[in-house]
Structure 1
Amino acid sequence: MADTSEGRPSIYPTLRYADAKAAIRQLTEAFGFTELAVYEGEDGSVAHAELAQGNGAVMLGSKGTGSVFDKAMESEGPTGVYVVVDDVDAHHRRAVEHGAEILMPPTDQDYGSRDYMARDLEGNVWSFGTYAPELKG
């Protein structure tokens, strides 16, 4: 098991995009992620990128690189990722201002969370909300 005592997440959702550079722009501008690293291939594709949000992160890259992961995921469709944010309404406003496709506006849930849902440029569904279950080991 990974040691997360230094604040490093032990799980990183990993996505592939036909236009990874556009995805990075949308995730940083509309959804408030911070770019940690972007490594490009010789052809200008994104071989690997890391974007942070709060104390979590996602990894992403370009489709069609020929890597083992790329080949394993080539017939897979969009995915869904849930991200905890403090102020759902402000986060939603930012996403709207940057033209994100909103699937569900900020909504109070029966289990106490306030969430909204958006789709990125390539169909992945991003849910942002206040629900943050405590992990007990």
Structure 2
Amino acid sequence: MAGMDGGRPSIYPTLLCADAKAAVRQLTEAFGFTELSVYEAEDGTVLHAELVQGNGAVMLGSRGSGDAFDTAMHGTGPVGVYVVVDDVDAHHQRALEHGAEILVPPTDQDYGSREYLARDVEGNVWTFGTYAPEVSI
């Protein structure tokens, strides 16, 4: 696949969360991500987590660590992330069953995608849809 190196995505959205444990739980339970790794401090704070969906991944951690990334991200707001899924309606149903906040139900778009929008526990907006343009370099 174009843009891939040995099965590794070349772009990782990276989120800092007030409650990273709750974010990991929602992303895995409601939105079907798989935990690749979760590293915690002795007090249980999530230092770094990697979650995968299809051939993509997202990294997240806890706000307030004081490291350079946390400092650089201070005051930033939620982000939007697009995730390609095969069955939008089944994915949406799973999200509903886990209490996810749905902003827009599954809708067919003029550009050929079927997608829905949801907000996570941190306020980030996730679009789950079928639009998957071919990337060639």
TM over 0.5: yes
SS in 1 for 2:60: strand
CA distance in 2, matches of 1:42, 1:71: 22
Structure 1 residue 74, shift from structure 2 partner:
1.2
* 1:38-49 matches, cutoff 5 A: 38-49=38-49
Gaps of 5+ in 1: none
Relative contact order, higher structure (CA 8 A, sep 6+): 2
CA distance in structure 1 between the aligned counterparts of 2:115 and 2:85, rounded to whole angstroms: 9
What is aligned with 2:58?
Answer: 58
Which stretch has the larger CA shift, 86-95 or 3-12? 3-12
Matches within 5 A, 1:1-137: 4-137=4-137
CA deviation string 1:56-85 (max 9, x = no partner): 000000000111000100110000000000
What is the alpha-carbon distance in structure 2 between the residues aligned to residue 57 and residue 126 of structure 1?
A: 13
Shift of the alpha carbon at 1:99?
A: 0.1
Letter in 2 for 1:86: D
Q: TM-score by structure 1 length?
A: 0.96
C-alpha deviation, 1:7, in angstroms? 1.1
Residue 6 of structure 1 deviates from its aligned partner by 1.1
Q: Secondary structure at the match of 2:89?
A: helix
Q: What amino acid is aligned across from residue 74 of structure 1 in structure 2?
A: H
Over residues 9-62 of structure 1, what are the superposed CA-to-partner deviations in whole Å (9 max), with x where a residue is unaligned? 000000011000000000000000000000112332111000000000000000
Shift of 1:105: 0.1
- Secondary structure at 1:44 match in 2: coil
Which letter does structure 1 place at the counterpart of 2:53?
Q
CA distance in 2 between counterparts of 1:71 and 1:45 reads: 17
Structure 2: 5+ residue runs without aligned partners? none
Q: State the TM-score, normalized to the length of structure 2.
A: 0.96
Deviations 1:71-103 (A, max 9, x none): 100110000000000000000000000000000
